[in-house]
Structure 1
């Protein structure tokens, strides 16, 4: 059972309790107000989680301020707030692991520090776990734009700022990997794969390794489990767009190599096919009907795919050169 019928104590609204630990990781004071909104959104859920972790990623000033704001008696309410410091050398993946190792819930849900969950987010995230074959669930981060969306920015690329993008299912359905801004996993399954890797592809890596270990299980996308993910103005610029397309895919090379047999490019290939066929076709039709921005979006889709391919090629070359140097160094040490 994910949600009990027993009312939680001390709550006049008698919200049901949920056997889930929620983890929010934070690294900067620049998001202080957004962090507060994220925390409030968890405390105001339609179900009551067992605990809420704030895992602070190598920022002593932020750690102390969180302890002042939510530590002690302030964090001892209906949903206990536990403030912890990243215990490892890495960043986001390590911060998630630090809290996940301490969590006691049957399920662990993750929310970004710049995302605010809808009141029924947790309840809807946990529903798919009623099927024992489901090991992880991805929620639906929708963009909370701070400035208007540029006309040239195609919705197929909303993954650039960590949001739902055209190409994901519109109903509950299996997916290859989740969006890290809003996701949940069975705690036992996460522990079985050794938690997260410490790189910036920790959520993708988690999904690949979960499915490799449990090939008959499923990861589901739940579009009704909505969070509002803040999009800073600088994430809607051309410079941010091209850098993300290139460098994210460059970084995937090392991430995939480290996964070994767990790696799978199915999701990436499907995205490329859909973006080219559907996205470009839609943009072209819009252009023919007088919408110039539709032509811009079609062009940007093609440019983005080219940048992604270039990034992956660059990363592959980089990996090959590095591997060759390591082999030579190893051979030299052996003969020496």
Structure 2
């Protein structure tokens, strides 16, 4: 298991994450904490982490992708599980991550990231946009199924396939609080292209609670995250073309968002004054993401 951390501000939830992970780890499992170029945090974590946690420094580029690649190169386990430092595994999480690998065609597994709100979810915030805060959004079927890519807060891959494709692109992914991403999308596209017929699957029983801090429930963060998602998708498109880079997004725009818009209108008609606001935010979120994508594509030329 690889947990990547960069800031002391998440100390309490980081310790909760590590404790929950070590409780579920078996005798042959390993829990790695990769600290992203923060000596103070690394020293503090090495002193306070639960028994069985090995703390290492990120030897790659600054950011989440560099940290994950450091974790990958620091372990020899057949399956590498990745957790965010603000995601706390729930009972049965690890078993549900590992079980699908009994099928030799499965090369990756993604689980559910349920939001743990530190302040109430704004009434205007549509569940179809929970990906903005790193969580599983409404529209993902609540049953096992094949997926293009997992959610980064709760995922795993066979180590051999990650090594074969060169790991995570360090040109993508979060650096500190900069709300860019898509590194797991780009990685998954590389993996399935390199191993035709192999599958990445969704395991709904593998659940974590992903902390949503107060700063992430503001409109400013929502807008910035949508814009940055568009920029990130443009970067993936440059690398792999729009076919694979946008396949899931086409389904999301054509099915999930219209359903969410209709649901918001229906809620408004039934007396929920915020229902219409959620429908409007769906449109604005899509518009900001498209504009970010267009800007990213224009910049690439």
TM, length-normalised to structure 2? 0.93
Partner of 1:204 in structure 2? 185
Provide structure 1 residue ranges, at least 5 long, that are not aligned to the other structure: 1-21, 321-336
Partner of 2:275: 294
Deviations 1:192-219 (A, max 9, x none): 1111111213211111111111121111
Q: In structure 1, the residue corresponding to 2:97 is in which secondary structure?
A: helix
Aligned partner of 2:145 among 173, 176, 182: 173
Distance 2:97 2:28 in 1: 12
Per the TM alignment, residue 263 of structure 1 is displaced from its structure 2 partner at its CA by 4.1
Residue correspondences, number: 292
Give the superposition deviation at 1:258: 2.7
1:27 aligns with 2:6: yes
When residues 46 and 192 of structure 1 are mapped into structure 2, their CA distance, relative to the original with a 3 A threshold, is: closer
Higher relative CO (Cα under 8 Å, sequence separation at least 6) belongs to 2
Task: Choose the corresponding residue for 1:42, options 21, 26, 51.
Answer: 21
**What residue in structure 2 maps to residue 131 of structure 1?**
103
- Aligned partners of 2:267 and 2:288: how far apart in 1? 24
Q: For 1:144-159, list aligned pairs within 5 A.
A: 144-159=116-131
Q: Using the alignment, how far apart are the partners of 1:49 and 1:274 within structure 2?
A: 43
Say if 1:46 and 1:119, in contact at 8 Å, map to a contact too: no
Q: Is the 8 A contact 2:146 2:202 kept in 1?
A: yes
2:44 to 59, 65, 84: 65
Q: CA RMSD in A?
A: 1.6
Question: Residue in 1 aligned with 2:233?
Answer: 252
1:113 corresponds in structure 2 to 85
Aligned-pair CA distance for 1:290 = 1.7
| 2:68 matches 1:96 | yes
Q: 1:261 to 1:298 in 2, by over 3 A?
A: closer
Name stretches of at least 5 consecutive residues in structure 2 with no aligned partner: 174-181
2:128, 2:257 within 8 Å by CA — same for their partners in 1? no
CA contact (8 A) 2:231 2:295 kept: yes
- 1:186-205 residue pairs with structure 2 within 5 A? 186-198=158-170, 199-200=172-173, 201-205=182-186
**8 Å contact 2:18–2:53 — kept in the other structure?**
no
TM-score (norm 1): 0.84
The residue aligned with 1:221 is 202
Go from structure 1 to structure 2 and tell me whether the alpha carbon gap of 1:260 and 1:278 turns closer, same or farther (over 3 Å shift): closer
Alpha-carbon distance in 2 for matches of 1:180, 1:278: 25
* Bigger Rg, which one: 1
SS in 2 for 1:44: helix
**Aligned match of 1:55:** 34
Is contact 1:275–1:301 with CA below 8 Å preserved after alignment?
no
CA deviation map 1:171-203 (0-9, x unaligned): 000111111000011111111111111121321
